[in-house]
């Protein structure tokens, strides 16, 4: 391989600097840019379908796709967010008034646990309500301070949110309209052979669609089913718990059971046997099996990674990148596997 000339080194250094500077400029609204790209990838087939129906009028097809995204994604998320805030406030008010008693719930759970499990919990001070209340109070005080700060700066946060939303929609319009041209330019700029670029780009697009379309839709279905079960059983704030179950459904193996299982135990502990048994059966045989039946239909078996890889990459991604990490983590993991697969099968890397 020939060495870079001095002029090439200077240009590559300049290229790296301006790229870092551009990313730095975009960083304050990185979330909006990130989700603009994700939504453009997800809705690209819809845009192409509308492009044919509008006789190749790219601007009109892009605008129609954008309106569809607002109706299907943004408006429902806004309405659900408002409902979550209202129901969370009502739960806090009920807890302060004493209608929801943490002590009663705790004591009833302890009464039905076997002695061996109580002794194990006792070693970690988990059978002491006072100890748990101190820890919860300490955590709640930190959360309340953070909420108070955000409440003081509510106007600033609202302005940032609206600005990010406008950037997302504005960027999304052009990504839909000019996305194919951008992909071609990026593919040409990547210094790899054509067959490697094709496989990596296909894998990247496939994993993005699989992660968002599959995981999010499965999470929505599981959360909706859990919320309907809670509503039927007259559990307070069903929308709040439904959203929490949907969010936790992104984690394989455990998922929504983190929410519905303690509620089922509470029903059994309070003597409401049919509610507890019914919720347990519904959680295991309906909510729990949605992933096994629905995900292969939405995603396909060939795009699935092992559950332990999905779990580790999702948790690690969210720890590093926040909410965006549930997409970034699995995508990085999938590209990691794809790159190593290419390396293992490519003859030129092994001198064959």
What confidence tens digit (pLDDT) does each residue in 67-108 have? 999 988 888 888 877 777 777 777 666 666 655 555 566 666
Answer yes or no: are the C-beta atoms of 60 and 176 closer than 8 Å. no
Structure tokens at 58: 């790219």
pLDDT higher for 42 or 116? 42
pLDDT grade for 249, boundaries at 50, 70 and 90: confident
pLDDT higher for 327 or 10? 10
325 has a pLDDT exceeding 60: yes
Name the burial class of residue 158, with classes exposed (0-12), middle (13-18) and buried (19+) by CB atoms within 10 angstroms of its CB.
exposed
pLDDT grade for 1, boundaries at 50, 70 and 90: very low
Give dist(CA 165, CA 40) in Å, integer: 15
Q: What is the dihedral of CA 204, 208, 214, 215, to 10 degrees?
A: 120
Q: How far apart are the first and last CA of the chain?
A: 18
- Which range in 2-6, 30-34, 253-257 is most confidently predicted, on average pLDDT? 30-34
Chain centroid to Cα 8, Å, comes to: 41
Least confident of 230-234, 282-286, 321-325: 321-325
**pLDDT for 50:** 92
pLDDT higher for 5 or 223? 223
**pLDDT for 68:** 92
Structure tokens at 19: 């790229």
Least confident of 32-36, 196-200, 300-304: 300-304
282 has a pLDDT exceeding 60: yes
Answer yes or no: are the C-beta atoms of 288 and 294 closer than 8 Å. no
Max CA separation in the chain (angstroms): 80
Chain centroid to Cα 217, Å, comes to: 11
Name the burial class of residue 312, with classes exposed (0-12), middle (13-18) and buried (19+) by CB atoms within 10 angstroms of its CB.
middle
Give dist(CA 105, CA 128) in Å, integer: 13
Name the burial class of residue 133, with classes exposed (0-12), middle (13-18) and buried (19+) by CB atoms within 10 angstroms of its CB.
middle
23 has a pLDDT exceeding 80: yes
The stretches of the chain forming alpha helices (DSSP H) are: 6-26, 30-42, 44-53, 58-69, 75-97, 102-112, 115-123, 129-152, 154-189, 194-209, 217-232, 238-248, 257-269, 273-282, 288-298, 307-321, 325-345
Would you say the C-alpha torsion 250, 255, 260, 263 has a positive or negative sign?
negative
Structure tokens at 146: 């953070």
Structure tokens at 157: 């946060």
**pLDDT for 65:** 93
CA proximity to 248, closest of 328, 298, 314, 295 = 314
Give dist(CA 274, CA 280) in Å, integer: 10
The average confidence (pLDDT) of the chain is 76
**pLDDT for 173:** 92
């Amino acid at each position: 391989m020939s060495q870079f000339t001095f002029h090439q080194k200077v240009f590559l250094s300049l290229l790296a600097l301006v790229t870092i500077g551009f990313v730095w400029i975009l960083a304050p609204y990185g979330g909006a840019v990130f989700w603009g790209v994700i939504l453009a990838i997800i809705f690209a087939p819809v845009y192409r379908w509308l492009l044919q129906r509008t006789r190749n009028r790219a601007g009109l097809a892009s605008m129609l796709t954008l309106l569809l995204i607002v109706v299907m994604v943004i408006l429902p998320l806004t309405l659900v967010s408002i409902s979550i805030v209202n129901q969370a406030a009502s739960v806090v008010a009920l807890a302060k008034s004493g209608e929801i008693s943490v002590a009663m719930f705790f004591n009833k759970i302890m009464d039905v646990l076997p002695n061996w499990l109580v002794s194990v919990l006792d070693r970690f001070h988990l059978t002491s309500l006072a100890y748990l209340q101190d820890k919860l109070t300490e955590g709640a005080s930190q959360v309340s301070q953070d909420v108070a700060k955000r409440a003081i700066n509510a106007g600033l946060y609202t302005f940032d949110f609206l600005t990010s939303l406008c950037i997302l929609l504005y960027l999304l319009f052009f990504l839909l309209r000019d996305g194919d041209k951008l992909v071609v330019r990026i593919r040409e700029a990547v210094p790899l052979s054509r067959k490697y670029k094709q496989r990596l780009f296909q894998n990247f697009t496939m994993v993005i669609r699989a992660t968002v379309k599959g995981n999010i839709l499965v999470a929505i279905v599981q959360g909706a089913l859990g919320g309907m079960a809670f509503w039927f059983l007259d559990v307070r704030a069903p929308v709040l718990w439904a959203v929490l179950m949907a969010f936790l459904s992104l984690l394989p193996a455990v998922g929504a059971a983190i929410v519905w299982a303690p509620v089922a135990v509470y029903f059994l502990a309070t003597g409401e046997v049919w509610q507890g048994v019914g919720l347990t059966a519904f959680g295991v045989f309906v909510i729990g099996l949605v992933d096994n039946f629905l995900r292969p239909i939405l995603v396909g078996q060939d795009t699935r990674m092992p559950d332990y890889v999905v779990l580790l990459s999702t948790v690690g991604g969210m720890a590093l990148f926040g909410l965006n990490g549930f997409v970034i983590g699995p995508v990085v993991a999938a590209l990691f596997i794809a790159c190593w697969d290419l390396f293992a099968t490519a003859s030129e890397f092994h001198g064959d």
